[in-house]
């Protein structure tokens, strides 16, 4: 197993460590001695949570606190962190005690996850927050994009309902205002309105469902629950 911190940092950041001893400590399990990565893991956990939370808040303006918390938990749980550590081959750099070496500690999820967080803590102390943030966003680019796209795959009526429920507001009502055109080419006009305010929106479509979806999408945008920077009404 290699413990060369400069090699690892050069691969991750294309720059050497200012304080390589921090990187060594981040990769040292408690079984290897008292100067281990537990304190750096504590710091890295907080840093990772902050960067992911900030990015989810930016990318998912329609998500409520519960949705944001669930998505953050999915991105920073032990399985996800261990997968990140394996992708970085952190197991090759770990310093373990004799017992952990014999039992394959360098492949254990808990040890890999802790080392990944500790490494973030060490990089923060060595290089600063901006470098840590850039690294996390690079590593999580695909997962964060999937989190945003999966939310948008929910239809507009569902997203509007969840947005309202999160704010303990009543569910919307949909009224057909008119149907025009021949039987084979009908056009529906639907009004989506809130029951606790005068907010409403009109939608049109070739079916009642499509008109309702368009009306819900428009109303959600007016309320600030779509992908916009508006504040909730």
Question: Which is catalytic among the residues 41, 55, 100, 117?
Answer: 117
Per annotation, catalytic residue among 41, 45, 162, 212 = 45
Whether 117 is a known active-site residue: answer yes
List the one residue out of 21, 43, 28, 39 whose CA is nearest residue 126.
21
Judge whether 155 counts as a catalytic residue. Answer: no
Which are the catalytic amino acids?
A: 45, 117
């Amino acid at each position: 197993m290699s413990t060369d911190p400069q090699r690892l940092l050069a691969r991750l950041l294309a720059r050497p460590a200012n304080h390589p001893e921090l990187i060594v400590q981040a990769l040292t399990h408690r079984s290897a001695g008292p100067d281990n990565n537990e304190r750096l893991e504590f710091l890295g956990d907080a840093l990772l949570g902050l960067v992911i939370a900030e990015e989810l808040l930016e990318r998912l303006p329609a998500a409520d606190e519960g949705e944001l918390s669930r998505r953050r938990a999915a991105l920073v749980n032990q399985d996800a962190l261990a997968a990140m550590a394996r992708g970085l081959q952190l197991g090759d750099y770990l310093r373990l005690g004799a017992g952990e070496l014999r039992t394959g500690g360098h492949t254990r999820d808990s040890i890999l996850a802790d080392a990944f967080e500790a490494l973030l803590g060490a990089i923060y102390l060595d290089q600063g927050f901006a470098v840590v943030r850039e690294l996390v966003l690079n590593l999580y680019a695909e997962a964060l994009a999937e989190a945003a796209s999966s939310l948008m795959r929910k239809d507009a009526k569902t997203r509007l309902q969840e947005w309202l429920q999160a704010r303990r507001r009543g569910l919307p009502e949909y009224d057909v205002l008119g149907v025009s055109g021949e039987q084979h080419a009908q056009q529906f006009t639907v009004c989506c309105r809130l029951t606790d305010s005068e907010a409403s929106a009109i939608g049109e479509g070739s079916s009642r469902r499509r008109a309702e979806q368009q009306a819900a999408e428009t109303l959600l945008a007016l309320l600030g629950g779509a992908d916009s920077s508006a504040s909730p009404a």
